[in-house]
Structure 1
Amino acid sequence: MKKAAGLFRSLMRTSIKSARQGVAVNKLMTAMLTPTVKPAPPRRKVRAKPAASLAKPVRSTARPAPAPSSITTAPGKWLTSHVEGANGHRMSFWLYLPHNIPDEASTPGLPLIVMLHGCQQTATQFAQGTRMNQWAERKGYAVLYPQQLVSNQAQRCWKWYDRATQEGGGDVPTIVAMIDKVAGAYAIDRARVYVAGISAGAGMANIVALNHPHLFAAVGLHSGPAFGAGHSTMGALGVMQHGAGLRADLAVQEVLARHGRFPGMPTILIAGEGDSVVRPINLAQLARQGLVLNGLAPDAPAKITHKAQGSNARHNAHRIDDFYDGRKLLLRVARIDALDHAWSGGDPALKFNAKSGPDATRMMLEFFARHRRV
């Protein structure tokens, strides 16, 4: 508990200056991330069209963005732009457009994944750590990376614990505006928009999806906190360590009441059994929330798959629980042994990424491919 409290204070120091109790600052989240050059993964041969052919005749303010060399191994376009937030501040975002588009992805447009980084990460670091651009190139996805402002939160944490944000305020409208801007400038398939994140970014991804359920076809949450509780920085620490308590069920009922006829939200949850920052109770509560949001019974049976540890520990042992409505997979819960607070199968050159798999990016893309919003 002392270690996690020190970590959280280092992330939230601007909001809890009065809580100086001599707890040592945990340096886990303060090291600078150094990009390294990685070879591009082997690429499948597909019948392809240039991404430029999908551009709409709409004037875009996006411009080419410099990127770490490991990001530029993906051959598509790497662009940056911004939107004006409700507070008048400009929030930047980065956009990856794949170079080669499989024929089946070219009409009516590209699927889009919105990726929300964690605390002490930038958009480009998150792109590099997850290797999402390389996977998006293979599968024909566009990827949008919003970046939290240091003027909003000094450690770039999304304020998932804030009550107003949970109810659809805060940075939620700004992120939605980014999606609208990208979809207005490029041919994006609005039936295949997905949102994902890690840690605070997972908490924020969940909030954006639950407040705009008709916008997103599915959501992916890695190492995320339970939804609907916290409501202060110290309250957020309690959620990270002990879950949302009674709020776990109440918050979901509030979401359903606000929307009247909630359309469901297919969800993939991924977390490490060794995570001491956002403890596994959050995964259990997110799973329970996911069952309710997708109209499944709390005691719905799961199809359980156990995966053994891979050779040379390249893959951690893990368990996957799949929940179906008929033949449709609505909720996937992956519990990964020996994984701490890090993206599974990420680029180990960057912190908050674990070298050993399973590859969380691949798992999310495979889950997203099953879903479209109708």
Structure 2
Amino acid sequence: MKKAAGLLRSLMRTSIKTARHGVAVNKLMTAMLTPAPASAPKRKARAKPKASSTTPSVKPAPSTAKPAARRSAPAPATTNTAPGKWLTSHVESANGHRMSFWLYLPQNTPEEAVAQGLPLIVMLHGCHQTATQFAQGSRMNQWAERKGYAVLYPQQLVSNQAQRCWKWYDRATQEGGGDVSTIVAMIDKVAGAYAIDRSRVYVAGISAGAGMANILALNHPQLFAAVGLHSGPVFGAGHSTMGALGVMQHGAALRADLAVREVLARHARFPGMPTILIAGEGDSVVRPINQMQLARQGLAINGLAHDAPAKITHKAQGSNARHNAHRIDDFYDGRKLLLRVARIDALDHAWSGGDPALKFNAKAGPDATRMMLEFFAKHRRA
């Protein structure tokens, strides 16, 4: 009896220890995917502030469309320290609500953009983030100013998802429904009002935003020239809140390959989708198995063999730990780089090289924003 009692106490201690460990990981994931209330009232339209005195150096394209950004909303300096124009507007979502977006137009315009229009990056925030927080955390506006990019930041509605998560796990969304058409409408609105180079439109995101970015790219391959996924879940699985939690922790198993085959079946002449994947080896929210399966999906989507050789580059940790050690695997078709996989040591569920003043951003590099821009610059849609 004493031995039995001792064994029972040991099992109880083990159970408690395991539960505590699970809470640390699962609390955030469960909160991320908490469904929104059944209904939410529409927000009243806000009065339009005066237009900013800062004007973009690219002239608007001739168009009869209404201006894409009718309100100019200069953000706090911590959000937008770049000198370009920072605008906000909205489109009607599929459920009839107003979905807001922010638009950055750089003051600096490369010579190529003067003639052909600005390249555009669509940036999708993660759960528990807003569009402006993502802009600040990623420092994308500052880099866009240096490189001459326009940047579009859609913001998920709380009425759609209580934690502002994009529903990457929803089957209908994965097939091009849900918020997909709303975000495409934003791109069309911006491109119709400003000089945007349609051959250089890119989409990127973190976590749930990365999942949504991938869905957009795979459902509209002619619209996007490349996609950037930071700490994102594998495509094509989940299909429920609990299913999504399972994917984040364990990947999609055989569903990962099947989902890609379904995409290719829907698009008889899929043009490929150049992809950069960035994730931390210490991510316990969206575990590294997701990046491994995304890489396999990326090979298939781009017509490369599952055992295609990679050019591997190892980067050592920087001085004073300002840059984490990381490995980059590059996959080519001839001389064209189609898939880049960056695996970063000591990085958890956070934007690498971001603004640590905000959650989900890690100060230590490599700088994920710079990496994405350098990758995007190699690609345009014919």
Structure with larger Rg: 2
- Give 3-state SS (helix, strand or coil) of 1:206's partner: helix
Partner of 1:29: none
Instruction: Give the structure 2 partner of residue 173 of structure 1.
Output: 181
Runs of 4+ in 1 over 6 A off after TM superposition: none
Deviation at 1:65, TM superposition (A): 1.2
Aligned to 2:56: 51
Partner of 1:79: 87
Of 194, 205, 213, the residue aligned with 1:205 is 213
Structure 2 match to 1:60: 67
- Give the paired residue count: 342
2:298 is aligned, of 283, 286, 290, to: 290
2:112 corresponds to which residue? 104
1:327-353 deviations in Å (ceiling 9; x for gaps): 000000000000000000000111100
C-alpha separation in 2, matches of 1:266 and 1:346 = 23
Among 113, 123, 140, the residue aligned to 2:121: 113
The alignment's TM-score, normalised by the length of structure 2, stands at 0.88
Q: CA deviation at 1:194?
A: 0.1
Distance 2:93 2:36 in 1: 21
- Unpaired segments of 5 or more residues in structure 2? 1-21, 39-54
How far 1:104 moved relative to its partner?
2.1
**Partner amino acid for 1:153?**
Q
Whole-angstrom distance in 2 between the partners of 1:16 and 1:131? 32
**Secondary structure of the structure 1 residue equivalent to 2:90:** strand
Deviations 1:177-234 (A, max 9, x none): 0000000000000000000000000000000110000000000000000000000000
- Kindly indicate whether residue 363 of structure 2 is the aligned counterpart of residue 342 of structure 1: no
Contact kept in structure 2, 1:344 and 1:357, CA below 8 Å: yes
- Matched residue SS, 1:239: helix
Letter in 2 for 1:10: A
1:219-234 residue pairs with structure 2 within 5 A?
Answer: 219-234=227-242
Q: Deviations over 1:40-95 (max 9, x none)?
A: xxxxxxxxxx7344212444051211312123320000000000112111100000
Q: Does 1:258 align with 2:279?
A: no
Contact preservation (8 Å) 2:36, 2:160: no
In structure 2, distance between residues paired with 1:161 and 1:225: 9
Specify the SS of the correspondent of 1:101.
Answer: coil
TM-score with structure 1 setting the length: 0.89
TM-aligned CA deviation for residue 13 of structure 1: 2.7
1:148-194 per-position Cα deviation (integer Å, ceiling 9, x unaligned): 00000010000000000000000000000000000000000000000
CA contact 2:328–2:341 (8 Å) conserved in 1: yes
**Distance change >3 Å, CA 246–CA 2, structure 1 → 2:** farther
Does residue 28 of structure 2 align to residue 7 of structure 1?
Answer: yes
Structure 1 residue corresponding to 2:99, chosen from 87, 91, 95? 91
Q: Report if the CA contact (8 A) 1:9-1:16 is conserved.
A: no
Name which of structure 1's ranges 1-10 and 128-137 shifts more when overlaid on structure 2.
Answer: 1-10
1:314 to 309, 322, 330: 322
How do 1:141-180 and structure 2 match up within 5 A?
Answer: 141-180=149-188
Q: What is the letter of the counterpart of residue 31 of structure 2?
A: S
Identity among equivalent pairs (%): 83
Q: Cα 1:61–1:370, aligned 2, differ >3 Å: closer, same or farther?
A: closer
Pairwise CA distance, 1:106: 1.8
- 8 Å CA contact retained: 1:68, 1:124: no
Moved more, 201-210 or 57-66: 57-66
